[in-house]
Structures are given as structure tokens and as C-alpha cells.
């Protein structure tokens, strides 16, 4: 019969470590005899299994609780820390995680007590929004710093507020209405040129600017710019046609009404002290046919205004698309061939660009086919009308009753139109887009264009 080995000395499960050690010693060496190393063994076990009292070391105890080893320790430490106003473990939305243990050897950073822990709510959302706004502002500042200063030459008057804004960040030189010599001297080191009508930007001048990459046309027409040179050098051309369209359309009717009501004759007579009340015979524009040559952006607006005044708009446009035709019909304008528009119009208005195909489109032959007693209004370009033929037709008076021109074949200071001597002609110095509102809108758009292109322009390396 085999002899049973004595039970191994150690703490019993569920019992106190130190008491168990004493009992085991008595069983192994006799009653009342303690193990000689009992104090050292007890201290070692306390260090190894700290907190492994009943119900905490993963075994069921008197409290009826079980769990992974160490869980009881974490719960107890968490309770103790909370009782002292501290915090242990991961902080999740103001509630401390009871299982996540604090790394051994690390101390908790100083912070607010648990009762004052940060809670999510409206204030937190406002803080996140403020931080996001701050990040956006910082990114915007970095972007602005990354955009290089653009060397700009402005050769036509633009809105002063726009010039001031450009000067805040860029190198701006203004040479308004510059002649050829001044333009060639000023353009040499420029990256961008801003201009309106009245100043020519030719290939000879642009060839002197090796860094030129952007031309901004503060308007719609491009007949004063060498487009072939731009294409050959891949220089960007950006037009600003929209703001001026409404202004040009409104001036069209101002001139039309001045012709129909004899405003120039009445004004001159009254200035001389003559009361010509019963001599001036005006005519209505309501019920008349409004012929629009060039029913594009401006011409469409002219048709809309004419329809609102009771006129019957009849327009023509080169190579109309189905979309353009539908848009004109919605505006109340019918499309017809050029010859029909000329023959039926009581008021013929011109709104086409100056190209080789439109130069002198209104000459002696077209004037001869116009309706007797009709009026001509040129809002396009001076080269569209043969002014010598127009002068002859007005002197004859068998077809045209009068004409108004905002654009002229020869424009500029010191120029005098041969039509100025005729009493049935109204002349204005190309002021179609010259309104305070229009120029402010054009200036704002010019600034936007320059800023959009600033990052794409080459960076000049200083010598």
C-alpha cells in the first residue's frame, strides 16, 4: 500500500494568505511549529498576488463574483481612486473604464477630478467648430502665402477699388491709354495685362514680355488684341462680358428713344431760347419691329427689353444652336435671316463682334434695302458700319430717318466723326459699359481672375 504524500504547504484557495501559511506549517511540522521562512514566504506571496483575496483572483468567493485575474484589483483601485477624486484607466466620454488597467510604473497626469471631468455637449460642439474654423483660416493663410505676387500692367481705366485690392498683394503698374512707346516700355517685366477697349495689345508689344502669361479683357470684344500671338505662346485670355451686357442693352434704348423723340433737336433749340414744342414730331417705339443683328448675350437682352416695351423683336445670329434658338424664343424674339431682319426692322440694332466676316457688314447695299423711315443704332464696333456710306444715306434721307452710334471707326482723343455735322445723328464716345455699377462688377471679377491664376503663373527668381 502506497504511502500518501503530505499536502503541499501554501495558502488555501479562498483563505487568507498569512493564516493559511501558518496552518500548513503546523500540519507539516506538528502543532504549534511555524515554518522558519514563513515571514519571507508571506511577503513574497503578497508581492506576487497582491489583492488575491477571496472573490478577486478569478475564483468564486463569499461575494459570489468571478472574473479574469486582476479584474478585482482594477475595480478596487478604480473605486479607491474615484473615492479620492482621482481617475484610473481610459476616459470615455466622462466615464472611466473599470477594466482598462493603468500601466505599471507610470503615474497619471494631473487633471481635473472625476466630478469635473469634461463632458460632451453643446459647448464641446462649439469648441470643435471653433477649432475647425481656426484650421481653415490657417490653411487659407498658407495658401495666400503660397501664391506669388503677380506683376500686373493695367493699360485701361478700371474700378479704383479693384486696383487698390490688387496692389495689396501684387506689383501693379498703371499706364492708362498708353501709346505704343509707353506700352512697350511698361510691359517688359509683366506677368499679366488688364485692358478694356481703346488700347491695342499687339504682337510687337507682347513679344517684349517673356513672362507674360495672362491677359484679362475687362469686357467682351477682342478686336484690339492679337489673338494669334496669344495662341502661339499659350497665353491665357479671360474676358468679362457679363457685367457690361445689361448696361449696353440699356444704352441701346436710350439712343433709340433719343432718335424717336428728337431729343437732340429739342435740346439744341431750347438752349438757343427757341420753344419748339409744336415743331418736334416724335414717334412711338411700341408696336414697331425691332431688328437685332447679333442676338447673343447683349442682343438677347435688347430683345427682352423691346418686348417689354411692346416692340416685336426679330433677330438673327450666325450658326444658331437649338439651345440658343429656344432661349431666344423664351425671351420673346423670333429668328430670321439677316436680309429679312434688315428689310422689316423699324429700328435696326447691331451687336456683333468685329471679325473679317462682319467688317462693313452694313454698307451701301444693306442701307439701300432698309425700310423707309427706319433708324440704325450701332452698339457693336465702328468697323461693322461703313460710315461714309451711312453719311451718304442720311443725307439722301430716302430710307434712313436717323442713326445713333456709340462706337466709331476711328476712336480716341481728337477724332471727329464726319457724322457729327448731321442733325439726325446721336453720337456717344463708346460708353456702353460706362456705369458705376458695371465697372464695380467688372473690377470685382478682374480681381477674382488674377487671384485664380496667381498660383499657375511662373515664379520669377530674383537675380
**Active site includes 91?**
no
- Answer yes or no: are the C-beta atoms of 321 and 295 closer than 8 Å: no
- Answer yes or no: are the C-beta atoms of 316 and 292 closer than 8 Å: yes
217, 301, 408, 430: the catalytic one is 430
**Active site includes 381?**
yes
Q: 287: Cβ–Cβ under 8 A, 6 or more apart, which residues?
A: 310, 311, 312
DSSP string, 160-194: HHHHHHHHHHSEEEE-TT--HHHHHHHSTT-SEEE
Cell representation of residue 224 = 484690339
Q: In which element (H, E) is residue 340 found? A: helix 338-344
What CA dihedral angle connects 311, 314, 315 and 319, to 10 degrees?
150
Cell representation of residue 313 = 423683336
Residues forming beta bridges with residue 348, ordered by sequence position: 291, 376
Residues forming beta bridges with residue 236, ordered by sequence position: 214
Q: 329: Cβ–Cβ under 8 A, 6 or more apart, which residues?
A: 335
- Cα 290 to Cα 208: distance, rounded to the nearest angstrom: 47
Terminal C-alpha separation, the chain: 108
- Answer yes or no: are the C-beta atoms of 388 and 394 closer than 8 Å: no
DSSP single-letter state for residue 385: B
Task: Tell me whether residue 223 is exposed, middle or buried, using C-beta atoms within 10 angstroms of its C-beta: 0 to 12, 13 to 18, 19 or more.
Answer: middle
DSSP single-letter state for residue 369: H
- Answer yes or no: are the C-beta atoms of 155 and 194 closer than 8 Å: yes
**Active site includes 116?**
no
381, 408, 445, 453: the catalytic one is 381
- Cα 173 to Cα 154: distance, rounded to the nearest angstrom: 6
250, 411, 444, 451: the catalytic one is 411
CA distances from 316 to 245, 275, 338, 421 (A): 18, 42, 6, 32
Which residues are designated catalytic?
A: 381, 411, 430
Amino acid at each position: 500500500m502506497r504511502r500518501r504524500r503530505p499536502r503541499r504547504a501554501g495558502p488555501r484557495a479562498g483563505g487568507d494568505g498569512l493564516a493559511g501559511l501558518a496552518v500548513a506549517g503546523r500540519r507539516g511540522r506538528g502543532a504549534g511549529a511555524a515554518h522558519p521562512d514563513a515571514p519571507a514566504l508571506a511577503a513574497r506571496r503578497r508581492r506576487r498576488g497582491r489583492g488575491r483575496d477571496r472573490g478577486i483572483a478569478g475564483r468564486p468567493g463569499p461575494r459570489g463574483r468571478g472574473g479574469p485575474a486582476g479584474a478585482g484589483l482594477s475595480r478596487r483601485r478604480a473605486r479607491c481612486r474615484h473615492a479620492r477624486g482621482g481617475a484610473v484607466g481610459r476616459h470615455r466620454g466622462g466615464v472611466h473604464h473599470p477594466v482598462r488597467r493603468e500601466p505599471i510604473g507610470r503615474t497619471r497626469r494631473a487633471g481635473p477630478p472625476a466630478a469635473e471631468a469634461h463632458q460632451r455637449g453643446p459647448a464641446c460642439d462649439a469648441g470643435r467648430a471653433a477649432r475647425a474654423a481656426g484650421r481653415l483660416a490657417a490653411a487659407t493663410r498658407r495658401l495666400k502665402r503660397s501664391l506669388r505676387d503677380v506683376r500686373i500692367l493695367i493699360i485701361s481705366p478700371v474700378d479704383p477699388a479693384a486696383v487698390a485690392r490688387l496692389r495689396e498683394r501684387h506689383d501693379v503698374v498703371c499706364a492708362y491709354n498708353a501709346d505704343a512707346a509707353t506700352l512697350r516700355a511698361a510691359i517688359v517685366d509683366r506677368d499679366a495685362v488688364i485692358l478694356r477697349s481703346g488700347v491695342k495689345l499687339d504682337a510687337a508689344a507682347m513679344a517684349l514680355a517673356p513672362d507674360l502669361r495672362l491677359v484679362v479683357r475687362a469686357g467682351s470684344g477682342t478686336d484690339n488684341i492679337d489673338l494669334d500671338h496669344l495662341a502661339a505662346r499659350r497665353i491665357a485670355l479671360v474676358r468679362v462680358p457679363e457685367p457690361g451686357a445689361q448696361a449696353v442693352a440699356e444704352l441701346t434704348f436710350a439712343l433709340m428713344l433719343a432718335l424717336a423723340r428728337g431729343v437732340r433737336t429739342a435740346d439744341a433749340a431750347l438752349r438757343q431760347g427757341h420753344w419748339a414744342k409744336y415743331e418736334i414730331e416724335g414717334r412711338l417705339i411700341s408696336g414697331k419691329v425691332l431688328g437685332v443683328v447679333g442676338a447673343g448675350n447683349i442682343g438677347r437682352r435688347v430683345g427682352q427689353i423691346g418686348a417689354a416695351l411692346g416692340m416685336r423683336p426679330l433677330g438673327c445670329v450666325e450658326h444658331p444652336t437649338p439651345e440658343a434658338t429656344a432661349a431666344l424664343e423664351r425671351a420673346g424674339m423670333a429668328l430670321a435671316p439677316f436680309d429679312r431682319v434688315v428689310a422689316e426692322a423699324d429700328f435696326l440694332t447691331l451687336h456683333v463682334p468685329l471679325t473679317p466676316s462682319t467688317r462693313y457688314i452694313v454698307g451701301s447695299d444693306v442701307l439701300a434695302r432698309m425700310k423707309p423711315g427706319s433708324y440704325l443704332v450701332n452698339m457693336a464696333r465702328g468697323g461693322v458700319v461703313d460710315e461714309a456710306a451711312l453719311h451718304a444715306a442720311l443725307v439722301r434721307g430716302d430710307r434712313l430717318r436717323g442713326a445713333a452710334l456709340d462706337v466709331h471707326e476711328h476712336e480716341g482723343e481728337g477724332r471727329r466723326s464726319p457724322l457729327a455735322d448731321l442733325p439726325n445723328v446721336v453720337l456717344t464716345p463708346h460708353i456702353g459699359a460706362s456705369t458705376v455699377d458695371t465697372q464695380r462688377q467688372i473690377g470685382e471679377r478682374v480681381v477674382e481672375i488674377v487671384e485664380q491664376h496667381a498660383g499657375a503663373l511662373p515664379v520669377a527668381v530674383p537675380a
